[in-house]
Structures are given as C-alpha cells and as structure tokens.
Amino acid sequence: MKKRKLFVFTTSLTLAMAFLLSGCGGGEGEKTSGSGVEKKTIKVAHYFAENHPQNIALKEKFKKIVEKESNGELEVRIYANSTLGAEKEFYDGVRNGTIEMGVPGLIMQSDIPKMGVPEWPFLFRDYDHVKKVLNGPIGEELTKELDPKHGVTPLAWSANGFRMFSSNRTIKSMKDFDGLRLRMPNIPNYIKLGESLGANVSPLPISEVFTALEQKVVDAQDNPIATLRSSGWNEVQSDVLESKHMFSPNIYIINSKFYKGLTKEQQKIIQKAAKESAAYEFELMEKSYEDDKAYLKDNGIKFTTPDEDFSEKMVKASQPVYDEVFEENDWAEELVGKIKAE
C-alpha cells in the first residue's frame, strides 16, 4: 500500500513539474503567428550606427517587407552598432547559426579571395559602375563560394561607400602620409595600400576606432564619410581627404541551414526584401554625401580635394597591391580587366 501511494505521489509531482515548465518555458520556436504556423525570428547583425543608411534601410524596408508579406510568420530583429559582437564575431555567428543574418563587410576574403576584389584600390569610377558590376554576373561570380565554404547564402550587395581618409592634420600631398599613424581594417589589401602610401598602419576593429582616435593612438582612419558622421569620429578628427581610394560594399548574408529550412515562399520574401532594402540603402548613401559633407564642415571638418597630380600619385602608389594579388591569383588580372570594361 505504501508503495502504491509513493508511486501516485511521484507521478503527480512529475506531471505538476512538467506543467509548470511548459508554462514558464517558451523558446522562439514555440511562438506562433496568427495563422497558427510556427513563428521564426530572424536576428540581423551589423556594425553600423543606428542612424546610418544601412540600419535605416533594414528598418524601413527589410523588416517591414518580411513581416508584412510573411503574415507574421517571420519576425525581424535588427541589432545595430556591433551589439552582437564586432564584425568577425557576428559573421562567425551567422556561419554557425547562432545569428540568422548579418550585413558584414568583406571580412571573409581571407578564406575566399574573390570576395576581396571590390575593395581593391581605385577600381570603380562611381556608384553606377559599382551597381552594374556587383548586381550582375561578376557579383555572382564573387559570391559563389560563400555557401559551400562558409555555410552562408548571399542575398544582396549593399553600399558602405567610397572610402576617404579622415585625420587630425591636413593631407594635401604624398609626403603628408609619411609617418601618419593610420587605422585600417585587419585585411591584407588594406594594410598593403596604407603602407604603399607611406603610412604606419595599425589594424583595429571598427568598434575600437573612436577610442584610438580620441586617445591619439592613431592619427587617422579611412571610411566613407557617412560612417565618420554617424559614428561621431568628427569629434576627434579635423580633416578629410576626398581620396575615394577604395569602394567598400557590404553584403546581406543568411545562414544557409536556416534559409534552406524555410518554405519556398518565405525564401522568396527574404530575397525580395533584401534586394529592395539594399537598393534603397545604395540610394540613401548616394544622396547623403553632400548632406554629410555639409554637416561635417559645419562641425569643424576641413575637406581637401586632391588635384589631378596628387590623385595620379596615389593611384601609382597603389600598384604594389595589384602586383601582389596578380601574383597570388591567376584569375585576378583578367577579372580586373572585366570590371574596368563594364
């Protein structure tokens, strides 16, 4: 009799605990949309500030399109300003599936050399040239190894913009690069370019740039001026050289396993939202340049536009970058020719 009572008590306790846990639990996979279909959350990570065109486009286009057209089956949460880690951390997160989506730069180029091509110096003429190349067959060629090698699916190219040097002194000739302590991303072609110009390059993640400039660990950095403005680096810089020495794209990527687990209709919605969001971001970046320049000038930044002679000298100085990549990659010279011919 005692054994029977003990069994009943134990069984009742187990059922009570199971009920309690089911009420208190609830991971993201347990949520349902209005239609009763399992609701999935897409975390999107990037390193731009909240007011940067990249984040604005994600909020105003990508998030709205995905949530509306999926009828609530997909929820988008955007994490700006390196909230989910610096670029390498959130890119690795997308690769291993702890983060569903990201908008990194071309950090993956160390493993996939063709992904570094868009950031080779003085390669693109203007935004129209960039869009024609990246949104066409060449852009597809550059990204084709992302899924098989890194387990991420490319969705759309977006724009970081044409990079320029901001500094705490005026750069008006090649000699002004001598001894300049220049922060650049820890990517070989960036470092090679900075050194070829004559600067002392310090590789740092973007999340450490403000502090390094403020504490005068470095004198200068290179980024599009939209990033200079949105990140507040103008508070610790005095000058901008409109060098346009490199174009930096970003790319919308999604974890391939997560993506392939969606319905075909959901995949189409994400593809559409990514393309529309990226196109809108390109538009915002193009339009924002003069406004960003005026804002920065009003806040004490002096702009220097290089004359033809200075520009030609910078282009000539960048040749070692091409010499190196042509030697290392038998496909590189032909690809550069195709890009310049577009």
**275 to 58, 87, 151, 154, 182: CA distances (angstroms):** 11, 22, 20, 11, 34
Burial state string for 84-111 with b = 16 or more CB within 10 A and e = fewer than 16:
bbebeebbebbbeeebbbbbbbbbbbee
Q: Which residue has the higher pLDDT, 333 or 28?
A: 333
What's the pLDDT tens digit per position in 190-210?
Answer: 999 999 999 999 999 888 999
Determine how many CB atoms are found less than 10 A away from the CB of residue 227. Answer: 26
Rounded mean pLDDT, 283-309: 96
Cα angle: 227, vertex 223, 125; to 5 degrees: 115
**300 confidence band (pLDDT: 50, 70, 90):** very high
Determine how many CB atoms are found less than 10 A away from the CB of residue 211. Answer: 11
C-alpha 11 chain-centroid distance? 54
Assess contact for 154 and 143: CB atoms under 8 A. yes
Say if residue 65's pLDDT is above 80.
yes
Assess contact for 207 and 183: CB atoms under 8 A. no
Among 115, 48, 119, 42, smallest CA distance to 86 is for: 48
**pLDDT at res. 7:** 40
Structure tokens at 97: 């599936």
**10 confidence band (pLDDT: 50, 70, 90):** very low
What's the pLDDT tens digit per position in 77-101?
Answer: 999 999 999 999 999 999 999 999 9
Say if residue 23's pLDDT is above 60.
no
Q: Which residue has the higher pLDDT, 10 or 263?
A: 263
Among 314, 342, 336, 310, smallest CA distance to 324 is for: 336
**pLDDT at res. 15:** 37
Say if residue 28's pLDDT is above 70.
no
**pLDDT at res. 13:** 39
**pLDDT at res. 31:** 57
Residue-averaged pLDDT of the chain: 90
Rounded mean pLDDT, 263-271: 98
Rounded mean pLDDT, 175-186: 95
Among 104, 51, 55, 48, smallest CA distance to 81 is for: 48
Using a pLDDT cut of 70, give the percent of the chain over it: 89
What's the pLDDT tens digit per position in 114-162?
Answer: 999 999 999 999 999 999 999 999 999 999 999 999 999 999 999 999 9
**pLDDT at res. 245:** 97
Among 316, 289, 339, smallest CA distance to 163 is for: 289
**pLDDT at res. 206:** 86
Say if residue 16's pLDDT is above 80.
no
CA atoms of 54 and 251, how far apart (whole Å): 11
Rounded mean pLDDT, 296-319: 97
**187 confidence band (pLDDT: 50, 70, 90):** confident
Q: Hunting for tokens 């999926």 — which residue is that?
A: 70
CA atoms of 259 and 241, how far apart (whole Å): 42
